[in-house]
Structure formats: C-alpha cells, structure tokens
Amino acid sequence: MDVTRILATPADALATTDIADHALETLRQSKIREVLVLGRRGPAQASFTTPEIRELGRLEGVEVAVDPRDLELDAASQAEMEEDRTAKANLKILHDYAGRTQQAAPRRIVLRFLASPVEIIGEDGRIAALKVERNELVVDANGALRSKRTGRVESIQAGLVLRSIGYRTVPIEGVPFDPATSTINNVAGQVVHPNTGEVVRGEYVVGWAKRGPTGLIGNNKPDSAATVEAILADLPVPQRLGDDGRDPSRVEALLRKRGIDYVTYGDWRILDRYEVAAGRAQGRPRVKVTTVPEMMAVIRDGRRRRTRPTVRPRGRAMPPAGAPSREGRPT
C-alpha cells in the first residue's frame, strides 16, 4: 500500500511531506499513470489496514478501480470475514470503489485479487509485460485458506514490476532457528534450544524474527521493551545497581580510546533539530538527511557549536541577564 500510494500521488503533493529529496526528484520525472496491485488471495484475506485502503481513495487526481467480480466471496471467505472486523471494514470500502463510475482522473490504481505473477516478459532488455495466473482458494490441512493456481493465464503490459510478498528471517549460524515459522526459537524474547527448551545465555531476539511477520511499530515497541526487560532481569543484581564499580562512562572512554565515533541521544537531537529547521524553511515537516556521512557531519558540527566557549572582551565584566545596558536596553 505504501508503494502504491507513493507512485500514484502527484509529486507536488509529496513535496509538502518529509519524503527524501532524492526520491522526490525521481518521482517528479515519473511517467507512471496506472498502478496495478495484485493479491494472490481474496479481498477477505488482504493484509492491508482499513486506513491504508481508505487513503487510496482520497488521493487527489487518482481513481481507484476494483472489479465487482473480485469481491464475490466463497463460503469459507465469507465465514472468515464475519469473524474479522478489519476484513469487514475493508470489504465495505472495496465495494464502494467497485461501485464508483469511471472518472477522468490523470492517474489510476487498479486492485485485483486471486491473481499471481508467474513470469516477467522482457523486450530489448526491458520489462514489457507480466504474465498473471488466476487463482482459487482452497482449505489446507490446517484449515487455512490458500491460493491455488487454475491454469488460466493472461499477459498485462507493464514497464515496472515491484515485489512485496512474503517474509523470512535470515538464519544466523549457531543460533536456534525454526524454519517452519521463520523465527528464532525463543520464550518471551530469550533464545532457547528447540529440542530441550534450555535458555541460551546472553542471546535475545525482538521483532518479526521473534514472533513472525505480523504487526507494525505499535507492536514492535512493547515487544522490544519486553525483551529488554528479559535482558535486565538476567543481569546480576550488583551489575544492575552499579554497586560493583561498573561505570557506564567507561564504555564511552573505551570507544574514544579506540577512536570509534558513536551517537548518543543528544547527538540524535542535534540531527533532529537540523532536519526540522531545514524543513521549516521549505514549509515541510523536515528535510531528511539520508546518508550516514552526512548525518555524522551534521552531528559533529552541532557538537562543536554546543561546546564552543563564550568569548568575553578583556577588562569588561558582562552585565547580568536582563540588566540595562549603557543604551538603556536589556542585554
């Protein structure tokens, strides 16, 4: 949904957001006028959120098209939808799009379901078309609805193909991994051996590698906090309280001794203020700095400004703040 929205939104509208400048410049040159979104399963199984699908219909100068036949549900999908409030809300919006009369909008988004790409067709070294196969839904051994190919194939002209399907955590050598769920074996964020359930000391996991590819920032924040709590709980009490002489500043001293630069929360605030100030000058939320060398240059400059000493004229005491100057004005 994010990719679709960005490709279909006019560049002038994006120019008021915090999108990176290099991306905005590329999008200004874009000749894309139609975006086709393919879902391998049906509308009741779509994983987009209701705000995401609703937002597509609010894009200025963009028509959203849905074939009403794609919204016809089989009995299993109908039952699934009745138990899923999000799916029910999504279907309502999709039916609204399907019922709209065709508009003369300069850009168009087409949503199709039960369709899978099977081949990219090239011509003179460039993408020319996409071969798409129609699917049907079947119930697997676990009772879940899966897509199954039907053999009915069509070709759709295309100049750009983007993939946004599937997720698998990359295994790390020596770390217990469950290939069936594509997650690192864990209990509440602590890595465990899959066979014995024994905790692996000093190894922890967060995010999708911990629980699978579900949830967004709102899920990842508490999930990460829970893992951090597990880490703190494993620390010896003296270490947690700092009673054994382990001063965190010694870590910073070691990094400085080795010539390793590092970024603190205060440094991040320098970068944040810089981006917001640059955005304010352009009427935007912020102008993003997008490369690490540029970020570090901004941070280092901010550090120098922050630590630069105040120079006072010799032989002349500075009056207290708010005291009247010789001209009678507050200083």
**Of 33-37, 261-265, 270-274, where does mean pLDDT reach its minimum?**
261-265
pLDDT at 321 over 60: no
Tens digit of pLDDT for each residue in 244-255? 556 778 888 999
pLDDT at 263 over 60: yes
The confidence score (pLDDT) of residue 324 equals: 43
The confidence score (pLDDT) of residue 71 equals: 95
The confidence score (pLDDT) of residue 235 equals: 82
Task: State the Cα–Cα distance between residues 121 and 157, nearest whole angstrom.
Answer: 9
Tens digit of pLDDT for each residue in 113-171? 999 999 999 999 999 999 999 999 998 877 788 899 999 999 999 999 998 876 778 89
pLDDT at 320 over 50: no
Q: What is the mean pLDDT of the chain?
A: 87
Using only C-alpha atoms, the chain has a radius of gyration, in whole angstroms, of: 28
Task: State the Cα–Cα distance between residues 73 and 161, nearest whole angstrom.
Answer: 28
Homologous superfamily of the 2-157 domain (CATH):
FAD/NAD(P)-binding domain (3.50.50.60)
Can you give the pTM of this predicted structure?
0.72
In this prediction, residue 313 has a pLDDT band, given cuts at 50, 70 and 90, of: low
Q: Taking CA 200 as the corner, what is the angle to CA 242 and CA 246, rounded to the nearest 5 degrees?
A: 15
Tens digit of pLDDT for each residue in 172-214? 998 999 888 889 999 989 999 988 889 998 999 999 899 888 7
- The β-bridge partners of 129 are 121, 157
Task: State the Cα–Cα distance between residues 113 and 148, nearest whole angstrom.
Answer: 13
The confidence score (pLDDT) of residue 52 equals: 93
Token digits of residue 135 = 């699917």
Task: State the Cα–Cα distance between residues 75 and 169, nearest whole angstrom.
Answer: 34
Q: How many CA atoms lie within 13 A of 89 on its CB side?
A: 11
Average pLDDT on 246-269 reads 89
For every residue of 86-141, DSSP letters joined together read HHHHHHHHHHHHHHSPP---SEEEEEEESEEEEEEEEETTEEEEEEEEEEEEEE-T
The residue type at 129: A
Task: State the Cα–Cα distance between residues 83 and 105, nearest whole angstrom.
Answer: 36
The confidence score (pLDDT) of residue 311 equals: 56
Q: Taking CA 19 as the corner, what is the angle to CA 18 and CA 22, rounded to the nearest 5 degrees?
A: 130
* High-pLDDT (> 90) share of the chain, %: 66
The confidence score (pLDDT) of residue 300 equals: 95
Token digits of residue 269 = 């605030």
- Residues of the chain within CATH 3.50.50.60 domain(s) are 2-157
pLDDT at 322 over 60: no
Tens digit of pLDDT for each residue in 30-42? 999 999 999 999 9
pLDDT at 233 over 70: yes
The confidence score (pLDDT) of residue 268 equals: 96
Tens digit of pLDDT for each residue in 19-67? 999 999 999 999 999 999 999 999 999 988 899 999 999 999 999 999 9
Distance set, CA 95 to CA 37, 51, 86, 293 (Å): 16, 15, 14, 48
